[in-house]
Amino acid sequence: MTDFSGKHVVVTGGTGALGSTVVRNLLGGGASCTVPYIIDAEAQRFEHAGAKNVRLIKVPDLADEASVAEVYEDIAPWASIHIAGGFAMGKVAETDKAALTAQLDNNLISCFLCCRAAVNAMRGGGRIVNVAARPALEWRSGAGMSAYTIAKTGVAALTVTLAEEVAKDGILVNAVAPSIMDTAANRAAMPKTDFSAWPKVEEVAATILFLASPGNKVTRGAIVPVYGKA
């Protein structure tokens, strides 16, 4: 178990499948967590709701500056982990401006605003971990989901540029790029796929936790593929 004793960590998307696993391991390592959420049903079934070291905070929109400012108000996080996002299929010819904007808001704008707030809230260094996606590294694999690919590619670029900006402040910024993860929702959506090839959420979480940990002393500006056997 990675040691996060005395560390405060923000986890967006912390009520989802990957986020819950990350939060569980952070708490096991001694961290306290702030977990913003949007969907009430997710918060109600969140396994760590009511835990003394967890602050659940309802926000209307992580692509809204005021909402993000509220999340980071009066805290000095050691790490900020940005898992929140959204997915949509759609070829360019089928994607209108509203659909493109939704993907940018859900994935890139929310990540950018949380990164900005985290940098301004950290004191004496810290860690930021973003979540990109395989199409952010392999653009051709994003055919048929163009808006999502554009947004996640932006997350990757944001990660690398921010890492360069804040390295001298002791803040190490990295991202993971998962392929399709083995979750109940993904199995239901693709029942005929070989699930054994998909990376498990526990495995992806382990990479995130290392990058967010005090044990990561040198890695910055990395977009780490977490593909499993896929």
**Which residues are tagged catalytic?**
148
Give kind and range of the element (H or E) at residue 102. Answer: helix 97-103
| Rounded distance between C-alpha atoms, residue 224 and residue 192, angstroms | 28
Query: In this structure, what token pair is assigned to residue 3?
Result: 């040691």
Determine contact, residues 115/160, Cβ cutoff 8 Å.
Answer: no
Q: Are 125 and 168 in contact (CB under 8 A)?
A: no
Residues 12 and 82 sit within 8 Å (Cβ to Cβ) = yes
**In the chain, what is the greatest distance between 2 CA atoms, to the nearest angstrom?**
50
Give CA–CA dist 214/221, Å, rounded. 16
C-alpha–C-alpha distance, residues 62 and 11, integer Å: 12
Q: Show Cβ contacts of residue 53 under 8 Å, excluding neighbours closer than 6 positions.
A: 27, 31, 32, 33
